[in-house]
Structure formats: C-alpha cells, structure tokens
Amino acid sequence: MCFVCVLSANAQDRSDSILLIKILEKIEQQHGVNFNYIDEEIAIFKIIPPKNALTLNEKLDYISDKTRLKFQFTSKSYIAVVNNKDLDKPLCGFIVDVFSNQPIAYANIKVIGTNYSTSSNENGYFELNIKSINPIEFSHVNYEKLTIQSIELYTNKCPTLTLKPVLNELSEVVTQTYLTKGITKKLDGTFEIKPKKFGLLPGLTEPDVFETLKQIPGIASTDETISNLNVRGGTHDQNLFLWNGIRLFQTGHFFGLISALNPNLAHTIKITKNGSSPFYGESVSSVVDISTHKNTSEETNGSIGINMISADVNAKFKISQNSNLELSARRSHTDFINSPTYKNYYNRIFQNTAVTNLTNDEVINYMNNEDFYFYDFSLQFDQKINSKMDLNIDLISINNLLEFNESKQENAILIAKNSSLEQHTLGGNVTLKVNWNKKNQSEINVYTSYYTIESENESIQSNQILNQENTILDTGIKIKNSHQIATNWKFNNGYQFNEIGIRNFDRINSPIFSRRIKDVLHSHSLIGELQYSSQNKKLRTAVGLRQTYITQLEEYLFEPRLQFNYSFSKSFFAEILAERKSQVTSQIVDLQQDFLGVEKRRWILANNETIPVVKSNQVSVGFTFKKNNWLLTLDNFYKSVNGITSMSQGFQNQLEFSRINGKYTVLGSEFLIQKQFYNFTAWLSYTYTNNNYNFESFSTNAFPNNYEINHNVGMAVIYDYQKLKIALGSRWFTGKPNTLPSSSLPIFNTPDNPQIGYQEPNSTNLEDYFQMNFSSSYKISISEKSNLLFGFSVQNLLDSKIIINQNYRVNTNTNSIEQVNTFALERTFNAFLRYNF
C-alpha cells in the first residue's frame, strides 16, 4: 500500500532527497539504459538517491522499495516504469473537522511555490489538477492551517484530512464537565450547554434550557417555575433571554412549569452571570444566549418524541449542497389527554381553590374547569453563499391558551363564570456573516420580537368583566466587527439600534372604565471591546465599553465590562468579573388578580419619572481548582441594583399597592465541589446571599428582599455509562421572606374599607424547602444513524408538602382575613420516548 512508502519517505532526511526524475537520468548515464515513464506518475517522488556502488538491479530494487514503482525490461537497454496504482484520477481528498467529523466547505488548498490553488466543495471534497513535489497547504478562516507533502495524497482512495478549529483563547474551558456532560465552564466566567452532548440532571427527562439553569449555583426559583428565575437575587425580568438574536419576553409554557423552547433543538446555550460582553445590553442580571446555528453543514437528521405533557418533532434537511432547512414543532396534548403529570401540573398552577378563614377555619370551596394547551414552532434556514459569507434566517412562534370556567355554590345556586388567557410570541431574525480574511470578520443582525398577553376575566363574585392586554414590539439592528490586530490582541467593535414599544390596555364593564397606554423608546449603542491573551496563556483579559443614548429620555448610559482570568498553574485559576448594566424594560404587578392571577405581570417602559431606568453594578472574585477529576469553584460577589419599583417586586403585604422606587443590594458566595470517578459524577453546591431592599420613602426603609434565599444547597449523583444514564439529586433552601398580619381581624379605617394590618415587612420566613428528584434514560441503537431513547423522571420523589408562597386577603362578606397558601409541586412522574434519526 502507498501509505508504506509515505511513511518511508517521511522517515528520510528530506534535505538529502532529490527528484526521482533526476535520479533516473543519472542511472541512464551510469548504466547506459533508457527509462520509459509518464511524467505525471513520478513527478511527486523525491527520495535519497541510491549509492553509486550498487548494481543496476540493486538500484531499481531500492527505488521500488521506496516508491512501490515497478521496473520492467522491454529490451536490454529499455526499461518501462510501471505504477501499480491507477493515477488517471487527480490527487484528491476530503477535509473534515477533527472533532465533529463534519465536512469543511470552501477550504483553500494551495500548492506551495506555485500559482495553483483550489477549494473544497460543500462535502469537503477537493481535487488537484497538477502533480508536484511541493508541499500542499490547507487553510480556512475558522481552522488552523495544515501542510502536508503531496505524496500523502498519492493513494488509491482519496484520503480524509482533519483540520482543528481556531479557538478563541478567551473561551477556553476551565472544565469540560460541570454538573453533567454537555455543560462546561469557560475561562471568561460563562457557562456553555450543548444539549446534543447533554448528560442527565435529576428530575429532567430532556435537556431543558431553563430548568438546567436552576442547577447552576447562584440561580434559583423561589416558586419552582422557570418564568421566575432569580439570578443572584434579581427578578426574572432582569435577565436577558436571546434565541438566535431574538429577545424572548416569554420563557415558559404552562405558565412557567415547562420551557418555551424545544429542548432537543438548541446547539449551544451560553449563560453569563457577571462580566458579560458589551454586545449584550438591556439586562441588569444574567444573559442567556441560545444559538441553534453550527459552523458546518449537516446531513438530513431529526427526532420525534413524546412525553406525558407534549409531543414534538424536529428535523434538519440538506436542501442543497450549501443550504440547510431546520424545522421544529411541539404541541401539548393536555386538551384531550389528562395524564397524571398534567393533573399535578394543573394542581400546582391553578391551586388556591380552597382558602382558609383565619377566624373560624371555615373552608370556602370553588370549582374549576379548564381547557389548556400550548405549542411552539421554529424555522431556521442556513445558506453558505460563498467561502466568505453565510446567511441565516430564523423564525419562532410560542403560544399558550387557557379557557377557564370557575363556579361556586351559593345559597343552593350554582354560579359559573368563563375566563380566558392567551400568551403569544412571534420573532424573526436575519443574520449575515462575512469572513473578510483570516483577521477580520463582520456580522449584521436585523431582528424583531413580538409578545402579547390577553385575558378576559369574569368575576365569580360579581357580574364584572375585566379585559386586559400587554403587547411588546421590539425591533433593531446589530453590527459587530472583529479584528485580530496582533497575535495576542483582538479588538471587537459594533453598533446597535433598538426600538421598543409597549402597550397596556385595561377595560372594565361595571363600572365602565378603559385605559390604553403606549410608550416607545429608541436607543443607539456604540460598543468596543479589547481582548488580550498572554504568550504563555496564563493571563486572559477583556475590557469593554457600551455607550447607549436613549433618545426620548435624553440620557447617556456608560457601561464598562471586565473579564480577567489568571492561571497560576494548570490546576488553579483566579478570575475577576465586573460590569455596569442597565435596562429600560421591567415587569410590574398592578393587581394580584390581573390576567386571571395566573400570569399577573405586565411589561412597562422607563420614563425617568415614575419608572426610572434600572441600573446595576456588580463585581465578583472567583477561584477554581481542578485536579485528579476533582473540581472546586468559589465565587464571591457584590451586586447593587438601583431604580427598581415596588410594583416590580411582587409584594403581597403593606407594599402591595405602593408606588415607590428604591434599590437592592446583594452580597453572596457560591461554592461547588465535584468529583468524577469511573462513570459517576457527584457534586455538592452551596450558595449564600444577603439580599436587602432600601426604599427611602417607606417608613421601614431597609428590610430583606422578597427573593432572598440565605442558604441554598444542591447535590446530585449521576451515573453515565454507554447507553444508560441515572441521576438522583436533592435541593434544600431556606424559606423566602414573608410578612404576617398583626391581627387575625381586619382594620376598619373606614366602615366600608376593611384592611389588613401587617407586621414589619419580610420579618419572618416560610418553612424551608426540600425536594428530591430522580431521572433515568436508556438508549437502544437501531442503525448506524438512528436510535431509540426512553426514560422517566420523578419530581419531588418524597412528596414533600411545602408552602412556597403565603399571602393574606380580606373576605368582605365575612369581614375576616383569609390565608392563601401556594404549595410546591407534588410528586410528579413523567416518561418519554424519542426516536433519533
């Protein structure tokens, strides 16, 4: 085989090698013979010449051994040179990614020392129309260069060559496995999740984007939902959620119990708690950036799955050699199948149908009947225009629909009322990426995001009908340029324009009342970021600045960002992250009964009068130690957020109807210890936070934050071996702050207006929260490219009955105070079946 001669040739001292043609010419002179050959068949050979003292036959044997060429005497003085391979075909090969084994299209192939070059096609295939002894260079803007000798392509088959991706030094990983397979922690402080490589987490049957966030230290949810994620003490609306450049204002189905995104679609999820890139704006807390794009093209593939809540399908089609179309759709079957899982979810969201009168412990029962379903859909089109240009088009639609019938028995008469609630998201994005050369790249995004929530609420207590609507239209353009200005220096810059409009509508039939408010803000942002990586790779840093001007408010916002990482050794790292951020959007609660009381928050815009621009400052210092499959991380942080309104904090005490502004500050630490051994991964996390409000205009101006969790502990043991995965874990945290009434009877400041008297705000806490979860899955291979995956999960394995929220209200019929408890999700079983092809 030819690879033998390749290895032999490579083992020689190339400095002593000469062209085979020259060697044959010298033998002709020395031995008085003539060689007949085809120039193309021997042009690439270059070897150390045989010794002059050898006989003719010994020299021919030597050459044959080095090249595998054969020599046939056609007469005493004429010798035919015969190649034992068919070289009618040109030199050829395939170029693929060394990690994913995916073909690399439009790679440049150049024969060094000549003017000849070509490129690979969409399948990574290339051909050379010349044969030369000169080395061949393979290059691509996203990959490291590869240089080989032409003889390495001299085989019966076209060989496969691998290129390594060019890695941004700032995105190198601290650890490849963080909590489970598919989650990595980067040196810039971010976390990256790749669902297709995902392992398993306790209580999850699928790589749910937002449920996974709750496993990371510093991220929690006081009410268990993913529509109320609290990152380092912040509210959910203070997080920025992006899907392929489209901002998402709706993150959950089933009003927060299920992710709004198909978990089997996303390719890469990037999570930043602090030190975010200046290219991210409009958030004072975390950034969750989800991308479903890949640098390489894929063959047609997909999956079909079903669980006890919904069914979904997603597929990627290779519609041409340089374009892909990916479709994803999911719909619940809750409107025609009442599975046990659905019933438990229903009980969790639509509870409080029985409330307790604190005076005589009388139970007042309401009956409910609901029709509920959800769906989501996404479309993605990728086009490779040429070797330097890529086009991506993305569309997404998310919808929740609830029709709700509530009735009660009063004086032997059944009173029934019908209500409805609908949430809808529609977004689109067009992205053009251009690789000008190896050192300069550009990207432009044009996007739009539309969100609306509408409800009609017929009161069970009266004939009153309340119609409400909250609508957002967010559009913009983003431009980013990247320049490799030196070996260790990279400069990124860009511009962003954003227009966001929010409309709020309320109408009551009795007494007649109508309100319609619409606000629009324009913002312009200039962005610069300088990245540096030292020659020895120990120091990595990025310093950025985002300068934003809000036209209607006539306000400039300066937002510096910092990422600093130093490697003391291969095992020990230290990082400093800092940022200043702002946002003009926030969610408020006017009344707890808004939008049926199920999704009672509405989006509003800052006006710098009653609603200020929210601004935050955060700094953190972290340390990471990893050795012998041990991982220890420690992050200490300080965070201050100014410009919050009391309406945005979900108060259900004496501040519920207040309209005051203030701030909160958080001081905390996050710790993780993890050990991998054999096929097991075990981890224990602990988060401490001290989170306090400051409302200067309120009598008690400083008190604990509604979302303060002083102590939060998570632990899990995960087994992952070949086709079987098992995960068992638990979560314990101290109860959220709570405010108790000062008396079991209401206060009558006026005869017809009973009110609740409260103790100091958030002066007590609910009981501690504890939950244990379990998951398991098994894969069955059907063919080389298809498999069947099935498994199950159990949330709240011990069926702990825990109060996660408690509030009080006045019953005007009895003039008494009622306590309303919201309980955690009861023990819930879920099973799934998925076919991947």
256 shares its domain with 300: no
Report the alpha-carbon distance of residue 533 to residue 531 in Å, rounded: 7
Over range 81-91, report the average pLDDT.
64
Report the alpha-carbon distance of residue 330 to residue 832 in Å, rounded: 14
| Domain harbouring 70, CATH code | 3.55.50.30
Over range 37-50, report the average pLDDT.
75
Q: Note whether residue 280 is domain-resident.
A: no
Is residue 367 pLDDT above 70, yes or no? no
395 shares its domain with 516: yes
451 shares its domain with 516: yes
561 shares its domain with 644: yes
Phi, psi (degrees; rounded to nearest 5) at 333: -110, 25
Q: What are the residues facing 363 on neighbouring strands? A: 356
Please state, for a pLDDT cut of 70, what percent of the chain lies above it: 91
Last residue in a domain, options 60, 83, 106: 83
Q: Render the burial of 418-457: b for 16+ CB within 10 Å, e for the rest.
A: ebbbebbbbbbbbbebebeeeeebbbbbebbbbbbbbbbb
Q: Render the burial of 473-485: b for 16+ CB within 10 Å, e for the rest.
A: bbebebebbbebe
760 shares its domain with 736: yes
Residues 6+ apart with CB under 8 A from 760: 700, 703, 739
Read off the pLDDT of residues 267-317 as tens digits, 9 standing for 90 and up. 788 999 999 999 999 999 999 999 888 755 567 788 999 999 999 999 988
Q: What residues make up the domain containing 22?
A: 2-83
Q: Note whether residue 371 is domain-resident.
A: yes
Is residue 483 pLDDT above 60, yes or no? yes
Q: Render the burial of 292-321: b for 16+ CB within 10 Å, e for the rest.
A: bbbebbeeeebbebebbbbebbbebeeeee
78 shares its domain with 133: no
Q: What are the residues facing 623 on neighbouring strands? A: 574, 634
Q: Note whether residue 277 is domain-resident.
A: no
pLDDT of amino acid 85: 55
Q: Note whether residue 282 is domain-resident.
A: no
Report the alpha-carbon distance of residue 463 to residue 451 in Å, rounded: 30
Report the alpha-carbon distance of residue 228 to residue 405 in Å, rounded: 26
Query: Strand, helix or coil at 21?
Result: helix
Residues 6+ apart with CB under 8 A from 651: 658, 706, 761
38 shares its domain with 119: no
Q: Note whether residue 17 is domain-resident.
A: yes
Work out how many domains the chain is built from and give that number.
Answer: 4
Residue 167 pLDDT level (bands cut at 50, 70, 90): low
Q: Note whether residue 45 is domain-resident.
A: yes
Report the alpha-carbon distance of residue 733 to residue 30 in Å, rounded: 91
450 shares its domain with 560: yes
Last residue in a domain, options 144, 163, 182: 163
Residue linked to tokens 């009168």: 357
256 shares its domain with 355: no
Q: Note whether residue 279 is domain-resident.
A: no
| Domain harbouring 97, CATH code | 2.60.40.1120
Q: ω into residue 50 within 30 of 0, thus cis?
A: no
H/E run at residue 830: strand 828-836
Read off the pLDDT of residues 796-815 as tens digits, 9 standing for 90 and up. 999 999 999 999 988 877 78
pLDDT of amino acid 67: 74
717 shares its domain with 799: yes
Between 438 and 266, name the one with better pLDDT.
438
- Computed on alpha carbons and rounded to an integer, the radius of gyration of the chain in Å comes to 33
Is residue 371 pLDDT above 90, yes or no? no
Last residue in a domain, options 221, 243, 272: 272
Short-list 58, 80, 57, CA closest to 70: 80
Sign of CA pseudo-dihedral 98, 102, 104, 110: positive
152 shares its domain with 212: no
Report the alpha-carbon distance of residue 192 to residue 649 in Å, rounded: 29
702, two tokens: 């400083």
Report the alpha-carbon distance of residue 687 to residue 635 in Å, rounded: 9
Read off the pLDDT of residues 822-833 as tens digits, 9 standing for 90 and up. 999 999 999 999
Q: Note whether residue 318 is domain-resident.
A: yes
Distances (CA, A) of 634 to 314, 578, 639, 709, 711: 39, 16, 16, 18, 15
Over range 758-770, report the average pLDDT.
95
> Are 567 and 534 within 8 A, CB to CB?
no
820, two tokens: 């309303």
Distances (CA, A) of 736 to 589, 593, 710, 711, 731: 19, 22, 9, 10, 14
Over range 184-198, report the average pLDDT.
82
12 shares its domain with 119: no
Report the alpha-carbon distance of residue 330 to residue 31 in Å, rounded: 80
Is residue 152 pLDDT above 80, yes or no? no
- What amino acid is encoded at 715 in this protein? M
Task: Give pTM, 2 decimals.
Answer: 0.81
Sign of CA pseudo-dihedral 182, 187, 189, 190: negative
| Domain harbouring 586, CATH code | 2.40.170.20
